[in-house]
Amino acid sequence: MAKFEEHIKQAQQNLEFLGKINQQINNYYDWQVTVCFYVAVHLANAHISKFGVQYRKHTDVNFALNPENKTSICKLPTEEYVSYIVLHNLSRRARYLVNDKQADIKNENVFFTYDKHFAKAIRHLDRLLTYFSTSYQIVFPPIPIVCTTIGSNEKLTVFKK
């Protein structure tokens, strides 16, 4: 079982990678959104590891983190849990061209990932990074980010425009 520190190290490497691809080829929003989710995956797994637990399926992790799950010992606060789920859904959109809000499985629409989705992913990942920084005294270095739909006056903790 990977330890807390190992998951944090992987999250930090993924953050560094995100910063590099964003600075060099920032129009690949699908890949950037996917990297945001995988940073969140390692943060979530680091958190879960603190309770001596490990899960191998996203559905199990989602259930364990859910603040409405009365039996979970490792739930997240509601806002952070929502951010994790949003990142999961954005990543599914980027990887499979689907919109999880579409109930009709036979819907033939294709859902691409654009800068507005990347901006949403950055905002939610920043919330998770802030939570982990505060809860576990982890210092995440500032990550410069290029995203036209993030306003210069937006208050982000880790990501800098």
| Domains along the chain with CATH numbers | 4-160 (1.20.120.330)
Instruction: Say how far apart CA 86 and CA 140 lie, in whole Å.
Output: 21
Closest CA to 71 of 57, 60, 82: 60
Tell me the backbone φ, ψ of residue 143, rounded to 5 degrees. -115, 115
How many Cβ atoms from other residues are within 10 Å of residue 36's Cβ?
A: 28
CA 61 to chain centre: 13
Of 9-23, 81-95, 117-131, 147-161, the one with minimum mean pLDDT is 147-161
Dihedral (C-alpha) 112, 110, 100, 96: value to the nearest 10 degrees? Answer: -70
Residue 99: predicted pLDDT: 87
pLDDT digits (tens, 9 = 90+) for 26-64: 899 999 999 999 999 999 999 999 999 999 899 999 999
Report which residue type is found at 151. Answer: G
Closest CA to 12 of 135, 147, 157, 139: 139
pLDDT digits (tens, 9 = 90+) for 116-150: 999 999 999 999 999 999 999 999 999 999 999 99
Indicate if the pLDDT at residue 102 is higher than 90. no
Indicate if the pLDDT at residue 103 is higher than 70. no
Name 144's bridge partners.
160
